[in-house]
Structure 1
Amino acid sequence: MAARTKPPFRADHVGSLLRPPELLRAREDAAAGRITREELRTVEDSAITDAVRMQEEVGLRGITDGEFRRGSWHMDFIYALDGISAADDKVKVSFHNEQGDIEFMTALAYVGGKVGVSETIFGDAFAFLSEHVAAGVPKLTIPSPSMVHYRGGRAAIDESIYPDLEGFWSDLTAAYREQVRRLGELGCTYLQLDDTSLAYLNDPEQRRYVASIGGDPDAQHVEYIRHINEALAGRPDGMSVTTHMCRGNFRSSWVAEGGYDHVAEALFSELDVDGYFMEWDDARSGGFEPLRFLPDGEKQVVLGLVTTKRGTLETKDDLLRRIEEASAHAPLDQLCLSPQCGFSSTVDGNALSYDEQVAKLALVVEVADEVWGR
């Protein structure tokens, strides 16, 4: 089996990691004014250095900063774009787990001005990460352009600024192209666009929600794919881009259900990325049949078979069996392995321990080495 020398790697991970207790305390102290932003930064630096070392020690090649400088996987980025702020109104999002539901109130992003990017978002964070990766490729995760639009739709975009939605999309994708260009100048060769919408839209309940806010539930994923491609147009040579699609990840809970059947054909044939991180950690994620739309060639699908939502460690035999099942629908040489999502999409983190997190990452590497070789 051919070794992979560029991302995504045979053993990979989505990006976020459990925040250590000292970092959580420092964030609380900074929010309360008990320590300065500079003091918080020092704690973040130390925690990220430790996280990088852990990833390298378990054998991962794609190395992230765990998203330790963020409160959320996506909103820190979105609010840093010009023209976008938190809306006054909040929306209730229902997350589900085996014990019941969690109601989460969150602010919508409101587009009240012309969208742009004045500064390279997460540029300093990526530069610090790059300086501390000794063995591997520094990876940066940012939300997809779709995430600026999905939750609020037309109502979250000021009509006096953007009477025509195409004007909004034109400015947003131009801002992303500039962001990607600047990241390339910083030496970023592994960029991931996180996009829950492309998984949510497989769920009939989510498609009903899209219709209720004026969207086209049958074709919205096609529109999003077009705009992601616009955002990535002209990306720097040598930059690998992946996307990650999950059905929600908050305190070991999820939002949506259903296989990838609704989006798979357009996703695999039209989205211009090098790899797809997709979750298949339980029955609500559906089967591997949508992989039949993966075209022969260089595109990779990273099978998210190891759950981050609980600490129980999967068995090697079970993972080997499921990889074999997936390979009945797509060439084994176009598959990789990872956890199904991050371990801590928000500062809250999922319900597992640090040691359980490390064990899962190490298992991913061990199984990938057995299937594809070093």
Structure 2
Amino acid sequence: MTNTAVTTQFPYRYDVVGSLLRTQALKDAHAKYHAGQISADDLQEVQHAETKKIVDKQVELGLKDITDGEFNRSWWHLDFLWGLTGVEKYDYHKSYKFHGSKTRTDNAELAGKVAFNPDHPFFDSFQFLQSITPDGVTPKQTIPSPTMLFRDNRSDNWPKFYDTWDEYLADVAKAYHETILHFYELGARYIQLDDTTWAFLISKLNETVDDSAAHAKYVKLAEDSVKVINQLLANLPEDLTVTTHICRGNFKSTFLFSGGYDDIADYLGQLNYDGLFLEYDSQRAGDFSPLGKIWNGDKNKRIVLVLITSKSPELEDKDAIINRIDQASGKVPLENLTLSTQCGFASTEEGNKLTEQQQWTKLKLVQDIAREVWNDD
């Protein structure tokens, strides 16, 4: 099939964040591959077949944009970073310390100057996704934000390859800009950058308010993040939508960070994205008071209220969600708001603690509520 991008503005009224629970067939194929029982080609054959199934399911549900469920990767962020020129995989020997769980110890580190890689494996994956996306539906490409290279010791080696930190940041922005342009050349019209750095900064800026030296370090990270993101977004094609998903961590239904958006609202308001997915599925996210600053009066920008959790199977009350959307519309006009789940369902291959059917039921709830609220399908 060929894909014709729809003209409806994205993010759509009912949107999908990205990752979906890995099917049992895909999990089994990975286990056989790692055990040396099947080849890489055999694994890809299963991956393609299972991706086709979840694409068909998203289309059947009536989603206007769909993803490949991130079935081509193990981690939401590391698989992409490893594909950039100048970034390599290594064992950090430490896991991410989620509340109540620990991850594998994979990580990324600089091994040279960062640059666009024309052979990045995600390009082939996007082309496959596009080939199975029907007309009238938009394939959405998700990648991690460049800020994910600035954290967790991933940039410690920068002095080996750069004279200044700013030169390093400029290369990161350029690599991302060229990567996004190549996705566009392949037919992508909707790209989402997933980002846990802002939630990390919420906690750090608050924790260090009485320690000026430590606080300045995190202010610098926030300022650098704004600079790099806006630099990579500059001069992209007008018919390309680029959004961001502000994530608080998602691993086996656990989380990393808590706190309201107040401390980062001014920074988020400076970002030149077309839309921001903001997690508001629990009390850990605070109230809607910072929304006005984050939206910053941009009539062309949409704020995605991520009010339906992907971490548990229990269905939210429809009327309660509609009431929260109404509350948020006091800060941002209803026409600039949309709805989605709080995160993907499987930011890593392990997945959250719910079934595939419960996953689809959650996405159907998002759609039902959005159609009732906006009625502009």
Fold shared per TM-score above 0.5: yes
Q: State the SS of the aligned residue for 2:42.
A: helix
Q: What is the aligned-residue identity percentage? A: 39
Contact 2:206 2:263 in 1 (8 A): no
For the pair 1:117 / 2:116, whether they are aligned, the reply is yes
Shift of 1:205: 7.8
For the pair 1:182 / 2:182, whether they are aligned, the reply is yes
Whole-angstrom distance in 2 between the partners of 1:143 and 1:188: 16
Contact 2:205 2:215 in 1 (8 A): no
Q: Write the mapping of 1:1-374 to structure 2, written as runs, cut at 5 A.
A: 5-96=8-99, 101-121=100-120, 122-134=122-134, 135-152=136-153, 156-204=156-204, 216-268=217-269, 270-293=270-293, 294-296=295-297, 297-373=299-375, 374=377
Shift of 1:372: 0.6
Kindly provide the amino acid, as one letter, of the partner of residue 7 in structure 1.
F
Q: State the SS of the aligned residue for 1:284.
A: helix
Q: Deviation per CA, 1:218-252, whole angstroms, max 9, x where unpaired?
A: 34222201101111222123100000011100000
Shift of 1:86: 2.5
| Pair 111,309 (structure 1): closer, same or farther in 2 beyond 3 Å | same
Whole-angstrom distance in 2 between the partners of 1:112 and 1:338: 37
| Pair 319,182 (structure 1): closer, same or farther in 2 beyond 3 Å | same
In the superposition, the TM-score normalised over structure 1's length comes to 0.93
Q: Deviation per CA, 1:58-108, whole angstroms, max 9, x where unpaired?
A: 121111000001001000000111111134533332111xxxx21335233
Provide the residue aligned with 2:3 in structure 1: none
Kindly provide the amino acid, as one letter, of the partner of residue 144 in structure 1.
S
Shift of 1:295: 2.5
> Runs in 1 of length 4+ with deviation above 6 angstroms?
210-215
Contact 2:205 2:219 in 1 (8 A): no
Shift of 1:117: 2.0
Contact 1:200 1:206 in 2 (8 A): no
Contact 1:207 1:218 in 2 (8 A): no
In the superposition, the TM-score normalised over structure 2's length comes to 0.92
| CA RMSD of superposed structures (Å) | 2.2
Contact 2:307 2:339 in 1 (8 A): yes
Whole-angstrom distance in 1 between the partners of 2:207 and 2:63: 36
Shift of 1:325: 1.2
Q: Deviation per CA, 1:133-182, whole angstroms, max 9, x where unpaired?
A: 1141100000111001122265x224221231112111111111111111
Q: Structure 1: give runs of 5+ residues left out of the alignment.
A: none
| Pair 126,212 (structure 1): closer, same or farther in 2 beyond 3 Å | farther
Of 324-333 and 359-368, deviating more is 324-333
Contact 1:207 1:217 in 2 (8 A): no
Of 314-323 and 343-352, deviating more is 314-323
Contact 2:200 2:257 in 1 (8 A): yes
Whole-angstrom distance in 2 between the partners of 1:84 and 1:278: 29
Whole-angstrom distance in 2 between the partners of 1:45 and 1:305: 31
Contact 1:11 1:338 in 2 (8 A): yes
Kindly provide the amino acid, as one letter, of the partner of residue 252 in structure 1.
S
